[in-house]
Amino acid sequence: MATEGGERSTITVVVMGVSGSGKSTVAAGLVDRLGWEFAEGDDFHPPENVEKMRAGHPLDDDDRWPWLRRLGAWIGEHEQTGRSVVVTCSALKRSYRDLLREGHPSVWFAHVTADRELIRDRMENRAGHYMPASLLDSQLETLEPLQDDEPGARISGAGSADAVVTELLSVLSRERGLRLPDLEGSP
């Protein structure tokens, strides 16, 4: 994708929302359709954060700031090399999202939403994830939904993964000028 001046611009799609909203599934679908590099935000957590969550204790801001700074650095590295990427991150508070955007004009948030019951069901029935369903309420209490003045969009994660990804790509195309042949009906 090029800017008006001809230089390559990048897009960093931060797929955000509470645990169980469908972030990883949506991100995987985006990566499959776009071929962009992907990072799972959870992989940037230090072991202490993972153990705290595994034990059923919510993270506080002191736990999250170093994690978010690592994600911001990763975003910056990819912007500098002109690579568009997809990354998952709960990004529950505006201040967290502001930190991720600081100095990174490529950042665009895809806030995946779903109702509490659907999210709880997903959390209770997924295998191999350290985040227990008991932390859902604390995440929902912490969540500050994406605001109209933030770059991005809210996307319902209640449909099929393919439908959610298609909707997200359509919005991304409109808002960030992403050109995809299958969205435009041309080769």
Q: Token pair 């990072």 is at which residue?
A: 39
Residues 54-65: tens digit of each pLDDT = 888 888 899 989
Has residue 1 been placed in a domain?
no
Residues 53-94: tens digit of each pLDDT = 888 888 889 998 999 999 999 999 999 999 999 999 989 999
Has residue 152 been placed in a domain?
yes
> Which pTM was predicted?
0.83
CB 104 within 8 A of CB 12: yes
> What's residue 95's pLDDT?
97
Q: How many domains does the chain have?
A: 1
- Structural domain boundaries enclosing 148: 12-175
CATH of the domain at 118: 3.40.50.300
Has residue 40 been placed in a domain?
yes
Residue 3 reports pLDDT greater than 50:
no
List CB contacts of 31: < 8 A, sequence separation 6 or more.
Answer: 37, 38, 86
